[in-house]
């Protein structure tokens, strides 16, 4: 069970590293309420996915 959790944590940290390299807001602590911080992170995820899809479509 612990191997699965450590592997999942590694994947989450890897994904967060990718997002923080693109979106500077994720590089330092956010001085926001938890609800607002959640919205900021979700916006970064949606933007990341949108940019990946739009780059893929342009290459086709």
Going residue by residue through the chain, which has 60 residues, state the pLDDT in tens, using 9 for 90 and above: 556 678 888 988 998 898 899 899 999 999 999 999 999 999 999 998 898 888 776 775
Listed by start position, the domains of the chain span 2-59
pTM of the model: 0.71
3-state SS string over the chain? CHHHHHHHHHHHHHHHHHHHHHCHHHCCCCCCCHHHHHHHHHHHHHHHHHHHHHHHHHHC
The two three-digit tokens of residue 5, written as one number: 């959790």
What gap in Å lies between CA 27 and CA 49, rounded to an integer? 19
């Amino acid at each position: 069970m612990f191997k699965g959790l450590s592997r999942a944590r590694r994947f989450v940290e890897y994904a967060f590293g990718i997002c923080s390299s693109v979106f500077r807001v994720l590089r330092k602590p956010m001085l926001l309420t938890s609800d607002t911080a959640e919205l900021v992170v979700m916006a970064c995820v949606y933007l990341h996915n949108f940019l990946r899809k739009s780059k893929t479509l342009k290459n086709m």
